[in-house]
Amino acid sequence: MKRRSNRKVKWISGIMAFVIALGLFGYYNRTTLALWGFDMFLSDQVKDELQKSYKPLDGRDPQNISYTDMNDSKPFSVLLLGVDQRENEKGRSDTMIVAVVRPKEKAMLMISIPRDTYTEIIGKGKSDKITHAYANGGAKMSIETVEHLFGMPIDHYAAINFTGFRNLIDAMGGISLPIGKDIVNKGKDHEKFVVKANQPSYSGQEALNYVRYREDAGGDVSRTGRQQAFLDAIMKKASGVGQWNNIPEYVGIMGEDFNTDMTPEMMVGLAKTMLQSDTRTIYSHTIKGEGHRLTAGGTWYYFADEDDLASSIDLVESWLNPSIDKNSLPLPAEYEQENDKSVEALSASSR
């Protein structure tokens, strides 16, 4: 009887040990398990939804980069466009970011171009604010104008209407944003709104107001900094394990508000690579410059600092070079200052 009791205890102990081990495996491999479930049950749905957003540009051959083997993936560039479109307007590119993605290292460089940057608008035959490129010729004119400004080809584009972002954030249940003091937009001819500081989560409209705010002393530079924080917050929220099952819904919500020349297969492969990593790292920089009017009483423009623009172009070129190891890549100046202003502030493991 005692022997049978001992066998029962050992059997129960064995079951408990197995359950605990399985639980620990599930905890430490929760992203892997979520990805397995995504591949098994959701991947095809997401690709079907993304097919609606696949919009190659006339006259441009999209770069069909494969992400089936991350060890063979080469760096690529993409122009990220956040479009401020209201009602029946065509909209303007309120956000313009040249991003270099290195899938193998799960690393990304983002160079923000202030929306009022004065440059030649390719296809219009004149110089103007770079944001007007989208208003006049959509993503195609925007990407060609940026290519001219940077003196290099851009592999892809991805454009999303801010309305799509707002709806996506609400569906996610809000996002966290680094707002240390109330944001009050009250200037003449500006939208009137207040975004309260230090909230645990912000709604889609609050996040959109955070991005659109333009009355602080930093002007365009501060605004692009908020846009970078906004994108980083969305990536962080989307990478949460509890979000994976909702990805088809999220993609459907963006719908016509999201357009890109990256194929659905590329988008799914890239998203899985960037979001599953605990060491994902993002470096960001806004092109420096100063604003003034060309003539008294004329339009206000932002003029890029030539040296900083050249440095930014060098950064992009280096990051696109697959022969340069991640640890040898140059970084924006703000990351190479004394006291090691390290990348941990922007890495997935510390956010």
pLDDT at 218: 65
Structural domain spans, the chain: 2-346
pLDDT at 82: 84
Average pLDDT, the chain: 77
Which residues, at least 6 apart from 30, have a Cβ–Cβ distance to it below 8 Å?
Answer: 241
Indicate the pTM of the whole model. 0.76
pLDDT at 64: 58
pLDDT at 69: 54
Whole-number CA gyration radius for the chain: 23
pLDDT at 87: 56
Name the residue type at position 183. Answer: I
Structure tokens, 112: 């923000």
Q: Is the pLDDT of residue 68 over 80?
A: no
Query: pLDDT of 300-309, one tens digit each?
Result: 999 999 999 9
**The pairing of beta strand 107-112 with beta strand 281-286:** parallel
CATH class for the region spanning 2-346: alpha beta
The Cα 21–Cα 199 span in angstroms is 38
Name the residue type at position 132. Answer: H
Q: Is the pLDDT of residue 226 over 80?
A: yes
249-258, 284-293, 331-340 — most confident range: 284-293
Handedness of CA 227, 232, 237, 238 (dihedral sign): positive
pLDDT at 23: 43
Q: Is the pLDDT of residue 130 over 80?
A: yes
CA distance readout (Å), 87 to 84, 161, 163, 335: 10, 11, 10, 40
Query: pLDDT of 37-62, one tens digit each?
Result: 455 545 677 777 788 888 999 888 76
Query: pLDDT of 179-217, one tens digit each?
Result: 999 999 887 667 788 999 999 999 999 998 888 787 776
Query: pLDDT of 3-36, one tens digit each?
Result: 555 555 555 555 555 444 444 334 334 444 455 4
